Amino acid sequence: MVVTETEGEARPLRFRILRAVPILIILGLLVHFLLPRLDTIEDSLATLRTLKPWAIWLSLIMEVLSYVANGALLQSVVQLAGGRMSLRRAAAIEIGAGSVALVAAGALGFGAAIYKWTTKRGVDADAALLASWLPSVFDAAALVVFALVGAIELLHLHQLSRVTVVALSIVISVLTIVIGGAIALLARNDWLRAISIRAARLMKRFRPKWNDAALIGAADTASEIWQKLRGGGWVRPACCSLMVLTFDLLCLRYAFLAAGHSLHISLLLAGYGVPLLLGRASFLPGGIAVVEVAMTALYGGLGVPANVAVVAVLTYRLMSFWLPALAGIPIAVTLQSPGRRTTIV
């Protein structure tokens, strides 16, 4: 009896420890980042007071355009699957799903939210299922391209340590395998269908009333999408993915201009892609602290004054992460509410 009670108490203890790990990582990164730079805080506050309003507004506009391009990516994938969706609705779904991902299982919560809200819009279940993960493949491919360009520039400038090179190589290799696997499944419909049938059987064990028609139907729709992609249908989603990161990069550029520092495009790219890729690969929502620490450190190593790097990066993260996350909360509530569906269509 005593052993049973001890075993029953061990589970919540482990669960609490697992929940505390991301917090400890964030605190550790912040301590590691802030303690050596306490002397720059006063200079950063002074730089903060001199931010140029016109550049702040341009930075915000670039980030809005980035999210519009993200909506266009979702819209293009839905259209490939034979569905229809307005650009405004698609952008709203992307922003709302991003906020859901912060509190609900990360990428899984993101995909589940997109699936639910696209089906509520009237998109077929099989098309919505593909729309819940295929845009992420294009996003990951575009991010790998930007990260490789930045890594090449950093290696040329001798700003990447051996540990960072190894970590970056692992992350890029894993993402490349995932992207290649997704392409292979789209190309080989028999493989995708077999996996879908097995996954449907597995789901039936846990949820006997679960309808497996959407999962198997999505495998058939994937074959049609692959034919469209081979015929040039990949161009628009790929361009949308590149536009997402291009506008996001411009948001960072204007954040530096707001802080009174102009960077050459090569240096801007050098400190941009690698931190975002490492943040995406971390278990922290939105790459919190990982992106900020890595990006500020890289730009500092590239010759940007510490106070300028801190202010510019934090301004950029405010525009690209925190404001959309806050804006996504009421959008998610609106999308979730059946009585308010027409407000953002």
- pLDDT for 280 equals 80
Distance, CA of 49 to CA of 52 (rounded, Å):
9
- pLDDT for 35 equals 45
Q: How sure is the predictor about 155, in pLDDT bands with cuts at 50, 70 and 90? A: confident
Are the CB atoms for 146 and 266 separated by under 8 Å?
A: no
Does residue 316 have a pLDDT over 90?
Answer: yes
- Total Cβ atoms within 10 A of residue 39: 9
Torsion of CA 265, 267, 273, 274, to 10 degrees: 170
DSSP states along 228-251: HIIIIITHHHHHHHHHHHHHHHHH
Torsion of CA 278, 164, 263, 311, to 10 degrees: 60
Least confident of 10-19, 179-188, 199-208: 10-19
**Tokens 């991301």 -> residue:** 22
Per residue in 319-342, pLDDT tens? 999 899 899 989 988 888 765 444
pTM: 0.77
Per residue in 102-135, pLDDT tens? 876 567 778 888 888 988 878 877 778 778 878 8
- pLDDT for 242 equals 95
Does residue 199 have a pLDDT over 50?
Answer: yes
**All structural domains of the chain with their residue ranges:** 41-343
Distance, CA of 155 to CA of 137 (rounded, Å):
26
Are the CB atoms for 157 and 287 separated by under 8 Å?
A: no
- pLDDT for 275 equals 87
Are the CB atoms for 278 and 29 separated by under 8 Å?
A: no
Q: Which of 34-43, 242-251, 292-301, 324-333 has the highest mean pLDDT?
A: 242-251
Least confident of 38-47, 63-72, 261-270: 38-47
Mean pLDDT of 220-240: 77
- Determine the straight-line distance between the first and last CA of the chain, rounded to whole angstroms: 58
**Tokens 């990982």 -> residue:** 290
Per residue in 95-114, is it b (16+ CB within 10 Å) or e — as a string?
bbbbbbbbeeeeeebbbbbb
Alpha helices in 121-161 (DSSP H): 125-131, 134-156
Are the CB atoms for 147 and 273 separated by under 8 Å?
A: yes
